A and B are shown apart, each in its own frame.
Chain A
């Protein structure tokens, strides 16, 4: 069973900020929250990862409240090329690695 819940789809327009929220009520103490982007016929691409509070990199920001039961991926000023499926995953720690179970993901469509 997937450990996360996301909206199935979202629409936006070029230049807008997009926020995608993910619920992970059963997150464990050691779990990290990781977001991936996937284009058709490609493997998922790492976007951002966090444990708590806020993380920002050159492409996105990740907001995690204190209880860590949800997280929000923020994409500033999206472009047409950001149209993709976005997955929120919570790590299920196995020794030195993680076992990731994918949810349905969020299909983001960016319109001109």
Chain B
């Protein structure tokens, strides 16, 4: 596709369950970012992938959060043992390596009951 896509668009889960969120970046973009946005809050950086380099995980809030990027393209953000405070919109963005401008996906709205 022409833009960044994310799936699912909405996810409702029960506290304690694991969830996987998927991001398909723009083809050819080597940089990929995950952010979290809570209601009325700014974008909170979670993790950054650049090419084959080790990801920058400095924004992950706890060890329940992890992310992978396979083949330098698709990325999956996994949240284990979800908590109610994990409820937020999870946004993925990609960019050309070394470029500043980020292209965002529509986000996955996660609700933990």
Specify whether A and B are partners.
no
